[in-house]
Chain A
């Protein structure tokens, strides 16, 4: 099977639709590209809110005393920080990339269900506004952590907690509707010449993500329905005094929320698998290994949830099972990391902002992965459970992993999405500030956790003061790092240098159409002649258009 994208005329920017009508981005558009950008911009807006909440949390923690906000408000701040970052930033942002990229990469005109797709997006803004509105109800927003464990959640102020539940239910529904679209689109709408093993790796990752969402998110909905009955009418599902069992909530919650980690990281894995070969000018190392390891992660991700519950009275035999299952996940994940490093190895690296963020992703994610295997070990976990070691671990996965990957994706596909290039200098400043700020914030937290500092408490022992101050300074640096990015994105979108159809000489199908792509994506039916990662390989048939060795992606 050989595939080759018909190479577009790469010498001058396409004349196709200019950033056209900005109003369409505020409409119930059915175009997957508009919806993808709607997801990305909306979720980035919530990322800024979540970041502001994080800054408030870190400001409180700058000193050992509880002096910046009241302890109750502190609880609400970290609860909403977690909820916003997970349900309103990373999950919708990855959904945005999947929406934008998948139909283009498989040569389809749109997603399978365009109207459903628009509906899935338009659930998000009201759900987010609803969550923010809980700051103004009596008792304030939910304060039981993003996990909302009973009995803590059933004892906190009802209004805020109920709004939290409603908001998460809405966001979960949006996620499920989106996943129906991803799965059917990838399954049914691939280009007729594109077999499963010719799919770009983003599609494999998106398929695995869609399956995970479909299998796990409904269970969270079930848990939240039962929790809301406990809250509103006083049933005793999770209340031991009435015969109920709070551990059942934890099982149901983590049956979603552990796969949620993979829902948030798998699409990013896929994006990194695109970005690295393009900018390293080498075929991806181990295409099938990366593709199938996404499926392995999807399966294993569903059977490890109770490693979050090692200290919840889980019986020892069950803890052993979940410990081993969790450690096994490091294998498919490691396969991916090895493949990325092997792809970079000896490559002719095009060191731009996208590749910097991609390499930042790989290195930071490895740290998060290693601390993840440490936490999977029951004896170690029991000691550091609910300490800052856990906070450090999952921020290395979700920030060092997902957020770095999302930034890499934005730098890589911005020219395609907007038809404009981003500014490289600002991009590199952004990367440097983010990388330093991130490590300054979260690396010291490992030490705090090992020394026993508990998470989720506004006050702490003064002996932790110095390290906490360093973390807080790091957070401010992270906040500052966002500005070069926002300036770059806004300025480039309006005034940036015009992008050609294929600025990175990529081989996947989205680069074979104009930047930005026209409505319905392709002027003519795309033609596939070589594998999406056949960089530097001799094509079996001469490429149709571009034979100039300087710009042809097929020349080494």
Chain B
């Protein structure tokens, strides 16, 4: 202010920063993660639309001569990934009760399930009878699943980072656990993308 006194109507308008929740450096990281995931979703949406267009334009899909795909392994993989989304949610419940050990248990289990998914994916890659450049279907298959696999890998690294940090005493507690929430949100996102991908590439 510039030295002059305020009358009462003005004084009313001056609100303490704290009481309005307008802290100097507020924490909006969860909002930031969600907004960033909008961009992530758009890149997948773009690739899915490209895939659907290739498919709609092609006279036969998958192109003639594409070997049949096994559904069993990807099916099991899908079940594991979907289940892991429920598993990771328990970690959130645990940390809200200040149960760091419980959180570690559920995060560790999710990490293991994620690793099984990635190994299963690689196993499928090595046993498929088509390569990256065999035909357009093969190319889209590898690029889409590979791009998703990269995201799973990144999610896995996030989970491992949270586990590493949780070793520090009182790093996470019932009030401060942004890292746990962020990793969980990301994991759910990766899961949802996989469901769409699975439907597009294997079922439809």
Give chain A's interface residues, CB within 8 Å of chain B: 6-9, 109-110, 112-113, 116, 176, 179-181, 183-184, 187-189, 191-193, 214-219, 221-223, 225-226, 229, 233-237, 242-245, 248, 251-252, 255, 520, 524-525, 527-529, 541-542, 544-546
CB within 8 Å for A192 and B136 given contacts A8-B2, A223-B46, A544-B4: no
Closest CB in chain A relative to B120 CB, distance in Å: 24
Can you name the residue of chain A whose Cβ is closest to the Cβ of B41?
A218
Q: List 9 additional A-B contacts (Cβ < 8 Å) besides A214-B38, A528-B13.
A: A9-B2, A9-B3, A184-B31, A189-B22, A189-B28, A218-B42, A233-B133, A235-B132, A545-B1
CB within 8 Å for A245 and B57 given contacts A235-B133, A545-B4: yes
Closest CB in chain B relative to A198 CB, distance in Å: 13
How far, in whole Å, are A179 and B32 apart by their CA atoms in the complex? 10
How far, in whole Å, are A225 and B1 apart by their CA atoms in the complex? 54
The residues in B between 85 and 131 inclusive whose CB is less than 8 angstroms from any CB of A are: none
9 A–B contacts from the bound complex (CB under 8 Å): A109-B24, A193-B13, A217-B42, A218-B43, A222-B50, A237-B139, A242-B136, A243-B54, A248-B53
Instruction: Flag if B46 contacts A245 (CB, 8 Å).
Output: no
Instruction: Flag if A116 contacts B53 (CB, 8 Å).
Output: no
How far, in whole Å, are A245 and B139 apart by their CA atoms in the complex? 13
How far, in whole Å, are A355 and B140 apart by their CA atoms in the complex? 53
CB-CB < 8 A to A235: which residues of B?
132-133, 136, 139, 143
CB-CB < 8 A to B147: which residues of A?
225
Which of B1, B6, B31, B140: most chain A CB closer than 10 A? B1
Instruction: Flag if B2 contacts A545 (CB, 8 Å).
Output: yes
Instruction: Flag if B42 contacts A219 (CB, 8 Å).
Output: yes
Can you name the residue of chain B whose Cβ is closest to the Cβ of A112?
B28
CB-CB < 8 A to B13: which residues of A?
193, 527-529
Instruction: Flag if A251 contacts B43 (CB, 8 Å).
Output: no
Can you name the residue of chain A whose Cβ is closest to the Cβ of B138?
A235
CB-CB < 8 A to A180: which residues of B?
32, 35-36, 39
Closest CB in chain B relative to A13 CB, distance in Å: 15
Instruction: Flag if B139 contacts A193 (CB, 8 Å).
Output: no
How far, in whole Å, are A192 and B21 apart by their CA atoms in the complex? 8
Closest CB in chain A relative to B140 CB, distance in Å: 8
Instruction: Flag if B135 contacts A242 (CB, 8 Å).
Output: yes
Instruction: Flag if B1 contacts A524 (CB, 8 Å).
Output: yes
Give chain B's interface residues, CB within 8 Å of chain A: 1-4, 6-7, 9-10, 13-17, 20-22, 24-26, 28-29, 31-32, 35-36, 38-40, 42-43, 45-47, 49-50, 53-54, 57-58, 63, 132-133, 135-136, 139-140, 143, 147
How far, in whole Å, are A458 and B32 apart by their CA atoms in the complex? 47
Partner of A544 from B10, B20, B22, B53 at Cβ < 8 Å? B10
Give the dominant DSSP class at A's interface: loop
CB-CB < 8 A to A219: which residues of B?
42-43, 45-46
CB-CB < 8 A to B39: which residues of A?
176, 179-180, 214-215, 217-218
CB within 8 Å for A225 and B143 given contacts A245-B54, A542-B7: yes
Can you name the residue of chain A whose Cβ is closest to the Cβ of B147?
A225
How far, in whole Å, are A248 and B57 apart by their CA atoms in the complex? 10
CB-CB < 8 A to B24: which residues of A?
109, 520
How far, in whole Å, are A112 and B135 apart by their CA atoms in the complex? 46
Which of B16, B45, B50: most chain A CB closer than 10 A? B50
CB-CB < 8 A to B7: which residues of A?
541-542
How far, in whole Å, are A7 and B53 apart by their CA atoms in the complex? 59
Instruction: Flag if B136 contacts A113 (CB, 8 Å).
Output: no
Can you name the residue of chain B whose Cβ is closest to the Cβ of A210?
B35
Which of B15, B28, B38, B46: most chain A CB closer than 10 A? B46
CB-CB < 8 A to A116: which residues of B?
32
How far, in whole Å, are A176 and B38 apart by their CA atoms in the complex? 10
CB-CB < 8 A to A181: which residues of B?
32
Can you name the residue of chain A whose Cβ is closest to the Cβ of B27?
A112
Instruction: Flag if B14 contacts A525 (CB, 8 Å).
Output: yes
CB-CB < 8 A to B36: which residues of A?
176, 180
CB within 8 Å for A192 and B14 given contacts A112-B32, A544-B6, A545-B3: no
Can you name the residue of chain B whose Cβ is closest to the Cβ of A189?
B26
Can you name the residue of chain B whose Cβ is closest to the Cβ of A8?
B2
How far, in whole Å, are A381 and B54 apart by their CA atoms in the complex? 27
How far, in whole Å, are A495 and B45 apart by their CA atoms in the complex? 53
How far, in whole Å, are A186 and B202 apart by their CA atoms in the complex? 42
Closest CB in chain A relative to B185 CB, distance in Å: 14
CB-CB < 8 A to B42: which residues of A?
214-219
Instruction: Flag if B54 contacts A221 (CB, 8 Å).
Output: no
Instruction: Flag if B2 contacts A7 (CB, 8 Å).
Output: yes
Partner of A192 from B3, B15, B139 at Cβ < 8 Å? B15
CB-CB < 8 A to B17: which residues of A?
192, 525
CB-CB < 8 A to B1: which residues of A?
6, 524, 527, 544-545
List the 4 closest A-B pairs by CB distance, nearest first.
Answer: A218-B43, A219-B46, A192-B20, A222-B46
CB-CB < 8 A to B50: which residues of A?
222-223, 226, 237, 248, 252
Closest CB in chain B relative to A136 CB, distance in Å: 31
Instruction: Flag if B139 contacts A236 (CB, 8 Å).
Output: yes
How far, in whole Å, are A294 and B127 apart by their CA atoms in the complex? 52
How far, in whole Å, are A229 and B45 apart by their CA atoms in the complex? 18
Instruction: Flag if B43 contacts A233 (CB, 8 Å).
Output: no
Instruction: Flag if A113 contacts B40 (CB, 8 Å).
Output: no
CB-CB < 8 A to B54: which residues of A?
237, 243-245, 248
CB within 8 Å for A244 and B136 given contacts A188-B31, A225-B147, A252-B46: yes
How far, in whole Å, are A541 and B49 apart by their CA atoms in the complex? 56
How far, in whole Å, are A371 and B54 apart by their CA atoms in the complex? 34
Instruction: Flag if A6 contacts B2 (CB, 8 Å).
Output: yes
